[in-house]
Amino acid sequence: MTPDAVRPAALAGAFYPARPDQLAGMADFYLAQAPDSPLPVPKALIAPHAGFIYSGPIAARAYARLRPGRDTIRRVVLLCPNHRVALRGLAAPTVQAFRTPLGDVAIDRPALSALVEAGLAQWSDQAHAGEHAIEVHLPFLQRTLDDFTLVPLVVGEAPPDQVARALDAVWGGPETLILVSSDLSHFHRYDEARTRDERTAAAIERLDIPALLAERDSACGRHAIAGLLVQARSRDLACLRLDLRNSGDTEGDADRVVGYGAWAFAPADQTMLDGGQRRDLLQIAVKAIEAGLGGTRPQPADRAALAPELATWRASFVTLERGGALRGCIGSLIASGPLADDVARNAWNAAFADPRFGPLQRDEMKGLEIHVSALTPPVPFPVRDQDDLLARLRPGIDGLILTDGRARATFLPAVWEDLPTPRAFVDALRRKAGLPPDHWSATLAFERYATESFGGRIDG
What are the pLDDT digits (tens) for 286-334? 999 999 999 999 999 888 889 999 999 999 999 999 999 999 999 999 9
Judged against a pLDDT cut of 50, whether residue 198 lies above it is answered with: yes
Judged against a pLDDT cut of 50, whether residue 207 lies above it is answered with: yes
Please identify, among 375, 392, 420, the residue that sits at the C-terminal boundary of a domain: 375
Instruction: Indicate the pTM of the whole model.
Output: 0.95
pLDDT value of residue 303: 80
Domain that holds residue 220: 3-267
- Please indicate, yes or no, whether residues 120 and 191 belong to a single structural domain of this protein: yes
Smallest Cα–Cα separation from 321: which of 364, 375, 374? 364
- Please indicate, yes or no, whether residues 106 and 119 belong to a single structural domain of this protein: yes
Judged against a pLDDT cut of 70, whether residue 367 lies above it is answered with: yes
What is the three-class DSSP state of 29? helix
- Ramachandran category for residue 244: left, alpha or beta (phi over 0 → left; psi -120 to 50 → alpha): beta
Q: Give the mean pLDDT of the chain.
A: 96
pLDDT per residue as tens digits for the range 249-278: 998 788 999 999 999 999 998 999 999 999
Q: Does 109 reside within a domain? A: yes
Smallest Cα–Cα separation from 128: which of 6, 261, 258? 6
Give the whole-angstrom CA distance, residue 85 versus residue 134: 15
Using pLDDT thresholds of 50, 70 and 90, give the confidence band for residue 417: very high
Residues 6+ apart with CB under 8 A from 109: 96
- Please indicate, yes or no, whether residues 210 and 350 belong to a single structural domain of this protein: no
- Please indicate, yes or no, whether residues 352 and 408 belong to a single structural domain of this protein: no
- Please indicate, yes or no, whether residues 355 and 419 belong to a single structural domain of this protein: no
Using pLDDT thresholds of 50, 70 and 90, give the confidence band for residue 136: very high
Residues 6+ apart with CB under 8 A from 221: 46, 79, 80, 81, 133, 155, 180, 181, 182, 183
Q: Are 25 and 32 in contact (CB under 8 A)?
A: no
pLDDT value of residue 353: 98
pLDDT value of residue 269: 87
* Number of domains composing the chain: 3
Smallest Cα–Cα separation from 193: which of 261, 262, 256? 256
Judged against a pLDDT cut of 70, whether residue 33 lies above it is answered with: yes
Rg (CA), the chain: 24
How many other C-beta atoms can be found within 10 angstroms of the C-beta atom of residue 170? 18
Smallest Cα–Cα separation from 339: which of 237, 419, 241, 427? 241
Judged against a pLDDT cut of 90, whether residue 411 lies above it is answered with: yes
Judged against a pLDDT cut of 70, whether residue 1 lies above it is answered with: no
CATH number at residue 386: 3.30.1490.150
Residue percentage of the chain with pLDDT more than 90: 95
Query: Where is pLDDT greater, at 187 or 304?
Result: 187
Please identify, among 359, 375, 391, the residue that sits at the C-terminal boundary of a domain: 375
Q: Name beta bridge partners: 326.
A: 321
Phi, psi of 16 (to 5 degrees): -160, 165
Q: Does 422 reside within a domain? A: yes
Amino acid found at 251: E
Q: Name beta bridge partners: 122.
A: 91
pLDDT value of residue 2: 47
- Angle between helices 20-33 and 52-63 in degrees, nearest 10: 60
Smallest Cα–Cα separation from 123: which of 149, 92, 82? 92
pLDDT value of residue 4: 61
